[in-house]
Chain A
Amino acid sequence: MIRLFKFLIRISSFLRKELTEIFRQPKLILTLVLGPFLIMFLFGLASPSQGRTLRTTFVVTDPNSFRQEIDSFSRSFSTVLVDYVIETDKEKALAALANAQTDMVIVVPYVPLETIQNNQQAEFLIYHNEIDPFQVGYIHSVAQVYIEEINRQFLQSVVELEQGNSASLQTDMETALVKMEALRKAVPAGDANTAKQAADLEKVLTDLHEKLTAFRTLASDIMVKPFSAKVSGLSAVQLTVIGFFSPAVIVLLLQHFSITFASLSIVREARSGIMELFKVSPLTAFETLAGKYISYLFFEILLAGVITVLAVWLLKIPILGQLQDYALAVVVLLFTSLGVGFLISLISETDTQAVQYSMLLLLASIFFSGFFLDLRLMKEPITFLAWSLPATYGIRMLQDIMLRGSSVPQLVFLGIACMGIVLFLIDWALLRKKMSS
């Protein structure tokens, strides 16, 4: 009994100690509980309530010929097709698509009626510049729905037209019948007009025959689906899901490594007491920070090299753009991520807190950087949060360079570079304060 009692007392010693230690870190508990909850809450706010809208450019040979149809059609598709413009120059429209000024280009067939009458489907060419397989699938779906709607509208107009035509057909038939009766009566009298009536009748009947022949020779599948759509992407490669997500995974890994290493760096030194030695020495905050940046950058660049080689060799992920652009994008991503890591290190009081902040940042990056949810689908205020994460810029840059073959997107590069410099300055100021207090 005493043994059991002592056993319980020994266990209780840890119970008390562990709980006391945990509750002595209210900030840690707060971030543990509220952090993920806040991220999920914001993600809920960011998620779109409807499908993605597509800025559309229609390419037609004559802007006046189809304007009415395009207007009416776009109105009925206003939840998907937005900010549509009509363009006559296909190349100009495709250039706008490549520059992300429009999301979809629809090239309207040149002479659709003649094509259909020749028993061929009139083909709409639909272009996009998506690399995300899910977005490509979305464009295909939109194209499918779009073309079905055109076919439906076309069939409706043909039926209405033919209903109009059938009235004249009925008149023609009645005329033919009257003439037939007159012909029947005149035949015995040997009337001179008989020959003319017979000729008229013959003409009416011939017309009817021709119309019937034309109707019967029209292919049934063309009649039902007179229009078709061919969807093409501007990207040179057909990407798999793994291929598409690889740049984003590389970015998230590099950001996370950088932040984790850097976030533990200064907080450990502050806890160990060596900071006191730094304060007495001639070492400045700038020298300390610069030394840390350079060493971690060196290590992270090596790491990035290994990850890239593995991605290219093992996963066959293409790098369509220039290698130097890729390297530049990676370096600026690492520089900025290190800035975030050092900031965490400077505001954290313990290692645990620093690791917790790093994990929260990884979680936020997965949800808000465009890795999980396309930035174009995110609601406006939350995109500010997205653009405050280095990963958002990194994913954008690496996708453009690796998968589209573009050069470094200048605005995005400028954004992340500015962020990195601002973070360096903040870290410097905080470290100066830490080393002088």
Chain B
Amino acid sequence: MKNDDPAVNVVEAHDLTKSFGEDIAVQSLTMEVPRGTIFGFVGPSGCGKTTTVRLLTGIFKPTSGTLSVLGKSPADFSKADREKIGYLIQQFVLYPDLTVWENLNFTASFYGVGLFRGKRLKHLLDFVELSGDKNKLARDLSGGMKRRLSLAATLVHNPELIFLDEPTAGIDPILRQKFWDYFKEIQTQGHTLFITTQYVGEAAFCDRVGVMYGGKLLMIETPDGLRKKAYGGDVVGIRTNEEISFEHRRQLEALPFVRGKVKIISDQEVEVTVDDASTAVTVLLEWTQAQKLTVVMMEQKSPPFDDVFVRIIEKEIAND
């Protein structure tokens, strides 16, 4: 069933569970991945991200629950369905004794790409900036080049839905940024990307982010939504020329849109969690004027996703 409607979900999982004997790797996972989005799957090592990808690609059969990928259960995938899927494995699995070009050609062959594929391969090598190294043996490539070759091999058959299992693991921040540039470009070409990562900060590049911990999917949100959920709202930073006293903080906490305690950064700077930063900032400015405080800075803060993630996990542990 081919459906290019962006409103259609390419992945729909309901109450999906996978266990290996007594060990439950994925527990009651329910999610939807809309077409054309970058879906980030964030979580620490061993939390069940790869198992989820293996369930979605049909490598594993679910123990229970229902799953639909591209409108079909992966167990019922036809060859044509499989041609619509690209899969980048965590480790480098291509052949060390073949050149970059030969590896790419081999991958294209087993996906059934037509014999006149030279232009496509060349385009992909240009895309991952490996054209100058096409005659190099894979074993002579650096770690980053190997990842880029793997990415090119994943895209060689122009798949609709691309699963990338920790594509940026173990590579330097500059190359990681480059990879996310690639992913954004692939997305603009109409592909859907399902990307797992343990670099929580990469959640910012995704349209939607699923947070996984201990085999459970804790939440699915937009990156901003994730922050809101972690902090209970938007964070607004306030810095003044005068000292922000205990009385000032008490008054701030008493405001109706302020959530929780005011966080003290210094004598003259605090962070306030509010329901909605866009409306709260005006009211907060009025409050500072009323308190005769000279505002040096008042802006919505974007806490790093590492902090966001830690907060979410802490909440989860507290709930358990």
A contact residues vs B (CB 8 Å cutoff): 272-274, 276-284, 287
Stretch at the interface among B77-85, B173-181, B281-289: B77-85
A287 to B112, CA, bound (A): 11
> What are 14 A-B contacts with C-beta separation under 8 Å?
A273-B93, A274-B93, A276-B89, A278-B110, A279-B57, A279-B59, A280-B57, A280-B59, A280-B87, A281-B87, A281-B111, A282-B80, A282-B82, A282-B110
Q: How far is the CA of A282 from the CA of B87 in the complex (A)?
A: 12
Whole-angstrom distance between the Cβ of B75 and the nearest chain A Cβ: 10
Additional A-B contact list (14), CB under 8 Å, known A279-B59, A281-B87, A281-B110: A273-B91, A276-B59, A276-B87, A277-B89, A279-B57, A280-B58, A280-B59, A280-B82, A280-B163, A281-B111, A282-B82, A282-B110, A282-B111, A283-B111
Q: Is B94 positioned at the interface, with any CB of A under 8 Å from its CB?
A: yes
Binding site for A on B (CB under 8 A): 54, 57-59, 79-80, 82-83, 85, 87, 89, 91, 93-95, 107, 110-112, 163
Docked Cα-Cα span, A280 to B163, in Å, equals 10
Please indicate the chain B residues that have their CB under 8 angstroms from the CB of A272 in the complex.
93
Give 5 nearest A-B pairs by CB, closest first. Answer: A282-B79, A282-B82, A274-B93, A273-B93, A280-B87
Minimal beta-carbon separation of A365 from chain B (angstroms): 29
Asked if A277 contacts B93 (CB within 8 A), the reply is yes
Q: Name the B residues within 8 Å of A280 (CB-CB).
A: 57-59, 82, 85, 87, 163
A405 to chain B, nearest CB (A): 43
Complex CA distance for A312 and B94, rounded to whole angstroms: 41
| Total residue contacts A-B, CB cutoff 8 A | 42
A264 to chain B, nearest CB (A): 12
Q: For B82, what are the chain A residues with a Cβ–Cβ distance below 8 Å?
A: 280-282
Q: How far is the CA of A281 from the CA of B154 in the complex (A)?
A: 10
B83 touches A282 (CB 8 A): yes
The CA of A279 and the CA of B112, in the complex, are separated in Å by 14
B110–A279 CB distance below 8 A:
no
**Using Cβ atoms and an 8 Å threshold, which residues of chain B touch A281?**
82, 87, 110-111
Determine whether the beta carbon of B89 is less than 8 Å from that of A273. yes
Report chain A residues within 8 Å CB of B95: 274
B56 to chain A: closest residue by CB: A280
**Contact call B58/A279, Cβ cutoff below 8 A:** yes
Q: How far is the CA of A287 from the CA of B58 in the complex (A)?
A: 19
Q: Which residue of B lies closest to A268 (CB)?
A: B95
Q: Inside 8 A of B59's CB, which chain A residues have their CB? A: 276, 279-280
In the complex, chain A residues whose CB is within 8 Å of the CB of B89? 273, 276-277
Kindly list chain B residues whose C-beta atoms are within 8 Å of the C-beta of A279: 57-59
The answer on a CB contact under 8 Å between B110 and A283 is yes
Shortest CB-to-CB span from B40 to chain A, Å, is: 20
Partner among B54, B94, B112, B163 whose Cβ is within 8 Å of the Cβ of A282: B112
- What residues of chain B lie closer than 8 Å to A283, measured between beta carbons? 110-111
Which residue of chain A lies nearest to B90 when distances are taken between CB atoms in the complex? A273
Once the chains are docked, how many angstroms separate the CA of A283 from the CA of B109? 10
Contacts of B112 in A (CB 8 A): 282
In the assembled complex, how far is the CB of residue B192 from the closest CB belonging to chain A, in whole angstroms?
15
Q: Distance in Å from the Cβ of A162 to the closest Cβ of chain B?
A: 87
| CB closest residue in chain A, given B79 | A282
| Residues of chain A with a CB closer than 8 A to B110's CB | 278, 281-283, 287
Q: How far is the CA of A284 from the CA of B110 in the complex (A)?
A: 9
Residues of A within 8 A of B57 (CB): 279-280
Bound-state Cα–Cα, A295 to B91, Å: 27
- Complex CA–CA separation, A274 to B89 (angstroms): 8
In the docked arrangement, what's the CA distance between A287 and B110, Å?
9
Q: How far apart are the CA atoms of A283 and B163 in the complex, in Å?
A: 18
